Structure 1
């Protein structure tokens, strides 16, 4: 797996949802995991045998997990696409930052100021929350400062055809509702050659930032990817609070998401996996829900890459070791 450079590690959890509603809570008892219903996996491909095998292996990967998961995968060279519940909406956490980035590049025609470049790099590479909030407000109608309405981000979504994405109109960008379908559409936009929404300079810039994501956040949809590919990734995670105003299902629930693109050397594919219901068993450390979500994503990811790239040496991402006393904060 090729990365352009090695970056210094930042504190885990940078890149959370903005605002207190989805702040990470301390270790609390949550419902035991229950087997989650999973929608059928549908795959199409120029290679019928590949489509059949992928559908079967992805289904097996999903069956082994108790959390809820949705996915969208594409591979341009083989004309392959796979989905499972791809229209289901999830709290975005930090994968919303890819939307903010796309909107910024769209509104600026790919030419960012020095300050915007600095903020964009912090937002994607370091998953910096403050940078994301600053750019979100910059792309919003601030008539009511307490409820920045992201009108210019919505303009980008409309242009990109991302009709299933619901931006949070009160400024909690990490509570934006996203789908695997729309996030995969964004990946295809970043990695494609269509200038209708973003020009080649803007697309290359977005991929470059995702290629330089810090080493502690390269887990997820990268797992099992061929080591000779160039990967571009963005992850997101948050634990919803136990506040009474949070829906009962969401209280204490870990939301863990990952999206990745493989490019160069003949590779041209993208994978999005969104998960929730990553519950912490009663009496267990809080970070177990976060770990379970990552394991779910990586189980699916490895199954896909094994089938699409048989015989290729697979990338084995590391992740931070989080002591039980210091669970990862929202991401």
Structure 2
């Protein structure tokens, strides 16, 4: 199926309904369930530091240390209609935990590895990829993280895509991969820009591969479509990440993707950490995304 941006409501009443629905869905998932999913491909042994990502359908929280940190947020925006320009960065372009936004990178690596081998994804890999992106399924991510060769496999392909500041999480902890907003814009360009971006001597993602990733990013499950979509007025494709750190109880909240605002298409990356709550972090990320896109529009 060809890629089409996920449409936003065009009327005031529909838009209000969409916002209420998204907020209501988020409240429901925060109040339902208590399952915390380990970000490890295997079992966390006794005494190990358990780093967890709380699934959006779960309201579980880890034991919190006293909150002393202040939340940080960094954004980057690139106008795809002026691709020669550099991204506009707001905040410090420093590394953050990826949480589940790494799943876009995992899929890009998987597809490039398949291209190198001269074949497409297997049916099992497609099923896992779709679950990983659309529903943010961690079991599927665990399987594909192993399939691409863990952090070394990720980093080898990322070099071809120009990602110079992304370091894969140790062992099975893909959610503790560290990245910057500028690296996330480079990855988004490889997916959304015509021809992708890569070094001159290496092939980029094919059109078929790019369209596959784009399409999955428009099929995000209900309740997970928050984030950079707040800056769009007609269409979006995204992937979000949310991770509560067991050492502090604070939240990493991230969102990356493409949005349409006015007549232009923008690549947007918002990374944050130190958030006291998931809902507060989401609100901060959405404010930052709207401000960043507004600034990019004003710059013409």
Q: TM-score, normalised by structure 2?
A: 0.74
Could you say what the CA RMSD is over the residues aligned between the two structures, in angstroms? 3.0
1:125-136 aligned within 5 A = 125-136=134-145
Match of 2:282?
A: 294
Gaps of 5+ in 1: 37-66, 141-148, 243-250, 280-288, 311-331
Distance change >3 Å, CA 204–CA 16, structure 1 → 2? farther
2:245 to 219, 240, 254: 240
Match of 2:97?
A: 91
Count how many residue pairs are aligned between Structure 1 and Structure 2.
249
Residue pair 2:62, 2:246 contacting (<8 A) in 1 also: no
CA distance in 1, matches of 2:185, 2:105: 12
Return 119-128 or 179-188, whichever deviates more: 179-188
Match of 2:259?
A: 262
Distance change >3 Å, CA 125–CA 177, structure 1 → 2? same
2:223 to 216, 220, 225: 216
CA distance in 1, matches of 2:169, 2:226: 26
SS at the partner of 1:137?
helix
1:73-152 aligned within 5 A = 73-78=77-82, 79=85, 81-85=87-91, 87-109=93-115, 111-140=120-149, 149-152=150-153
1:136-175 aligned within 5 A = 136-140=145-149, 149-175=150-176
Match of 1:272?
A: 269
Residue pair 1:221, 1:298 contacting (<8 A) in 2 also: yes
Deviation at 1:197, TM superposition (A): 1.6
Q: TM-score, normalised by structure 1?
A: 0.67
Match of 2:250?
A: 253
CA distance in 2, matches of 1:116, 1:277: 34
Gaps of 5+ in 2: 9-24, 45-49, 55-59, 197-202
Distance change >3 Å, CA 107–CA 150, structure 1 → 2? same
